[in-house]
Amino acid sequence: MGPYDPDTESLAAAARSALVREIDAEGVWDEDPVWREAFAQVPRHLFVPTYYVGVQGGYERRRAQSPDPRARELWLHGAYADTPLATLLRDGELLSSVSQPSLMARMLVALRVEDGDRVLEVGAGSGYNAALLAHRLGDDDLVTTVDLEPEITDAARQHLAAAGYHPVVVTGDGARGVPGRAPFDRIIATCTLPTVPRVWLAQCCPGARVLTPMATGLLVLTVRDAGHAEGRFLPSPAYFVPLRGTGRAEPGAVCLAGLPVDARGQETFRFLLALTRGTLDPQEAYALWQGEGRPRRERYGVTANGERVWAWLDAPEGPYTWPLL
């Protein structure tokens, strides 16, 4: 059983249908059911001929071309599990992955893609997300995906071609956008950013929508013009590989010693710490988090105005605002 033979395709179709039913049960695409058809049709297994799953002490490789039939079957079922899959490791560092399908569905629905939209994806990954966008839009040329690593973009092109999609795949720094393909109606990032690159806004049409992971959350911005955008975080937590290139932020360790136990494991508190890193220390963040009723992610937002980009709680004008460095 290989990734392209009839037996694989039959088993993959059944596994894909099961995945769609699983996402159906969560009500993810109730607002935009057109995405259901995209997930039902795009063959995810063609985008992960090899992937890695975490095991004690490291990663285990699974691949379509394994000589062991049981291993190949395990590969196929894993390709359609509602879990993220690591696709590129280098010296033990995770460089690229395929996101959890249900999270991808939530992000694509929140992007509010409309017919004819020009879309930029920052973080090509395996190419699977670009294929979903191309399928939804029905025009490969409307989709551009960019990644810094030639190894990633080369593989994405191969996977996309194998699945019958041909969006524009660019090797470059996603923090700079892709000016030669602008203007864009939608930008979606599949990697975590420390701030909102101003050049993205300059490459957007007025009224464009930008969705990017940030600080363990998902930020959705509406672009007013080349110098101004504003929006809030979605309720869902999200964890992505950091952007590589000029926009990458180097993470630093955060010491939670001395904080109450109830704060250390709270997602919303860790989100606040990540969002305000370098501005609030953990004790200050804890006092704010407690004092404001342990605010959920959707109470936070980000504004980009000219040279300034800042995060805020409840309102852009304060009283709680923090610069995004």
Tokens representing 310? 């800042």
Active site residue 99: yes
Residue 205: HSE in the Cβ half-sphere, 13 Å Cα cutoff: 12
What is the separation of C-alpha 274 from the centre of its chain, rounded to a whole number of angstroms?
17
Residue 131's φ and ψ, nearest 5 degrees, are -65, -40
How many angstroms separate the most distant Cα atoms in the chain? 62
Q: What distance in Å separates the CA atoms of residue 139 and residue 83, rounded to the nearest whole number?
A: 28
Q: Quick check: 134 and 118 in contact, CB under 8 A? A: no
Q: Quick check: 56 and 154 in contact, CB under 8 A? A: no
Q: Quick check: 321 and 218 in contact, CB under 8 A? A: no
Q: What distance in Å separates the CA atoms of residue 46 and residue 28, rounded to the nearest whole number?
A: 24
Coil, helix or strand at residue 1? coil
Q: What distance in Å separates the CA atoms of residue 2 and residue 120, rounded to the nearest whole number?
A: 32
Coil, helix or strand at residue 120? strand
Q: Which of 96, 97, 99, 102 is catalytic?
A: 99
Q: What distance in Å separates the CA atoms of residue 78 and residue 15, rounded to the nearest whole number?
A: 9
Q: What distance in Å separates the CA atoms of residue 33 and residue 255, rounded to the nearest whole number?
A: 44
Known catalytic residues are 99
